[in-house]
Amino acid sequence: MGNPKILLLNPQTPYYEMRLMKRPSRVWQPISLGSIASLLEAEGRDFELLDANAMGMAPDAVAEHTQAYGPDIVVMNSAQHDRWQNPIPTVDHVLDMVTKLDGVAPDATFILLGPHGTAFSAHTFDRIPRLDYLVRGEPEMTTLELIRRLAAGESVDDLAGISVVVDGKCVDHADAGFLADLDELPMPAYHLLPMDRYRYRGEADDPGNEHDRFAMMVTSRGCPYRCAYCSLTMVGWKYRVRSVEKVLEEIDVLVGQYGVNSLIFHDQVLTLKKPRLIEMCEGLVERNYDLAWYCQGVVNKFPTDVLPLMHDAGCKQINFGLESGVEEVSGKMRKNSVQEFVQIYEAGEKAGVAIIPNHMVGLPGETAELARKSNEFYKKFGFKYFFASPTIPFPGTELYEIGRTDGTIKGETWDDVVEATGLVDNGFTKEEMQEIVDELFEEERRQEAAEAAAAGGTGASAAGGTGASAAGGAE
């Protein structure tokens, strides 16, 4: 190929709703593609980074843009970084996009990154036969090496971390593993992204959003707590961190160059290493930015004594994957004590940091009676905007393996996952599960209406309009 033209594409993520599931679209930075862009830029590659999701570009508009650019290689997300753990359970949006682009770039090489191909490589090729390569797992370095070899006309037969089709069959190369030192990843190429378009909720021009400047960043990857429902196929279980120095440098850029005033740390668990958390918070206190930030924590060994410092550093809200307010259900999922969470909640109230529990229904061992008991726990403490999510048995989780073993999950496709949602290792029927979920969404709507009325119709929440699952845990 010589010096190929490369299109890095983040397609529109559709709002997804099927039976029990609701997955709102997000206009958040595609930071993994952004880091790949920085890697390509450092090598002097000819490329373009297009965030069609932020720009509101439907497949037809992207196809028109692609035809004008004329790429030799198209690298596309199936889900951006904030959906690596909980992607929408379908590849139809990717199929639509690839079909459109094939019409205007029939000779291009198509590479797909993300959790869909990582989970179901053969199924992804079956659904989207036009794809040439899947990059499985953590994508940045594997994608860079794949592009290098394609550009040089070299073989990829020994390249780990990819899947290809050979003689009509999907061939998965060996796993690539995970990057040991996250400081090797460059800062995302924010200068190539439409930074004025990103918002926590809704679009940049929605009422009340015009003054917000939102960013998502990641300071660590992985989580050592092997919760049965948690999908970490993209990042692994081993906890790996960026240096605090690099983290603060990136925040300096986001605030200083792009005016960011709202930030989500989309780590699986930002609070795991107490000394590191303290160092980061002290750095933010010293900077005294007008920056509100949100993160996700775990109940186990959570450092409640650091909450006042987190508040002073700008932390407004921490989400916890409690998932159930009933000890016997939470315990079966290897979660920690509900009472421990209550203690964290009370400490957060004193420190001025909102503590929000994520909420799932249809957990292993759960019944309709226990689910309603859990719901009462959430309402008792006045938790607002808790996002009720049916338990999805994502591939790569213990829950998925249980479902495959007991026959609840019939096959290795996303349709099979959808059909089994909320029904693995418990006594729920589909009808009972739908009834419980409907009750929870009705409660959520009631809370939203009450908050909107109290705020004079603005719909702002006590935590600054962020809502539950700000760190992406349950949504």
**Overall average pLDDT of the 465-475 stretch:** 36
Domains held by the chain: number: 2
Q: Are residues 297 and 442 in the same domain?
A: yes
- The mean pLDDT of 71-88, rounded to a whole number, is 94
Looking at the fold, whether 132 and 248 belong to one and the same domain comes out as no
Q: Is 294 helix (H, G, I), strand (E, B) or coil?
A: strand
Residue range(s) defining the domain that contains residue 13: 5-172
Mean pLDDT of the chain: 89
- Name the residue with higher pLDDT: 418 or 437: 418
- What's the CATH number where 257 sits? 3.20.20.70
The verdict on 417 and 297 lying in the same domain is yes
* Percent share of the chain, pLDDT over 70: 90
The answer to whether 116 touches 94, Cβ cutoff 8 Å, is yes
Q: What is the pLDDT of residues 137-186, one digit of tens each?
A: 999 999 999 999 999 999 999 999 999 999 999 999 999 999 999 999 99
Q: Examine the domain organization and report whether 220 and 157 are in the same domain.
A: no
User: Looking at the predicted structure, is the pLDDT value of residue 62 above 60?
Assistant: yes
Distance between CA atoms of 216 and 57, rounded to whole angstroms? 21
Instruction: Please list, residue by residue across 156-190, b when 16 or more beta carbons sit within 10 angstroms of its beta carbon and e when fewer do.
Output: eeebebbbbbeeeebeebeebebbeebeebbebbb
Q: Would residue 183 count as lying in a domain? A: no
Q: Which pLDDT does position 20 carry in this prediction?
A: 62
Tell me if 221 is assigned to some domain: yes
| Higher-scoring residue by pLDDT: 204, 115 | 115
Closest CA to 371 of 403, 405, 330: 330
Distance CA 252, CA 273 (A): 22
Q: Does a structural domain hold residue 475?
A: no
The pLDDT score that the predictor gives to residue 471 is 31
386-435 pLDDT, tens digit each? 556 889 999 999 999 999 999 999 999 999 999 999 999 998 888 888 88
Residue 430: its pLDDT value, please? 85
Shared domain for 219 and 119, answered yes or no, is no
Tell me, yes or no, whether 406 and 275 share the same domain.
yes
- Detail the DSSP E strand segments found in 173-235: 214-217, 220-221
State how far the alpha carbon of 335 is from the alpha carbons of 144, 151, 195, 237, 244, in Å.
Answer: 37, 47, 37, 16, 28
pTM assigned to the model: 0.91
Residues 282 and 324 in one domain: yes
Does residue 150 sit in the same domain as residue 206?
Answer: no
Instruction: Tell whether the torsion through CA atoms of 419, 424, 429 and 432 is positive or negative.
Output: negative
Which residues are 135's β-sheet partners?
Answer: 113, 162
Statement to judge: residues 158 and 248 lie in one domain: no
330 compared with 168, residue with greater pLDDT: 168
Cα separation, 389 vs 20, in Å, equals 8
N residues, the chain: 475
DSSP state of 461: -
Q: Are 150 and 295 found together in one domain?
A: no
Q: What is the DSSP letter of 190?
A: G
Q: What is the mean pLDDT of residues 61-80?
A: 97
Selected residue with higher pLDDT from 439 and 286: 286
Tell me, yes or no, whether 168 and 214 share the same domain.
no
> Are 280 and 395 in a shared domain?
yes
